[in-house]
């Protein structure tokens, strides 16, 4: 093996923690993830919105969004 040859599977700029384009203290997007606390808050909000719709509107909002989702799926399948 010759000296100075990079044998890593990824170029130096793509190796975690060694991206020269990042400012000090920044982390690459691949290292940033949703924390457990944030995921819990999002889940609680989603369940509470669905529960409120079910309680106050007889799930009409869920029904509407489900039908719109089915229309979107059919529209996308048309272009396949």
Tell me whether residue 47 is in a domain.
yes
Is residue 72 within 8 Å of 66, Cβ to Cβ? no
Tell me whether residue 39 is in a domain.
yes
Range of the domain at 53: 12-78
Per-residue pLDDT tens over the stretch 22-62: 555 566 666 668 899 999 999 999 999 999 999 999 999 99
Tell me whether residue 7 is in a domain.
no
Residue 31 makes CB contacts below 8 A (sequence gap 6+) with 16
Tell me whether residue 4 is in a domain.
no
Tell me whether residue 2 is in a domain.
no
| Global pTM value | 0.54
The number of folded domains in the chain is: 1
Tell me whether residue 17 is in a domain.
yes
Q: Quick one: average pLDDT of 9-25?
A: 55
Closest CA to 61 of 51, 71, 70: 51
Tell me whether residue 3 is in a domain.
no
């Amino acid at each position: 093996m010759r000296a100075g040859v990079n044998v890593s599977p990824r170029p130096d700029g793509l190796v975690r923690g060694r991206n020269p384009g990042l400012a000090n203290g920044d982390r690459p997007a691949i290292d940033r993830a949703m924390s457990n606390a944030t995921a819990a808050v999002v889940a609680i909000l989603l369940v509470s919105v669905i529960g409120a719709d079910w309680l106050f509107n007889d799930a009409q909002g869920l029904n509407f969004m489900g039908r719109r989702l089915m229309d979107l799926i059919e529209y996308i399948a048309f272009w396949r």
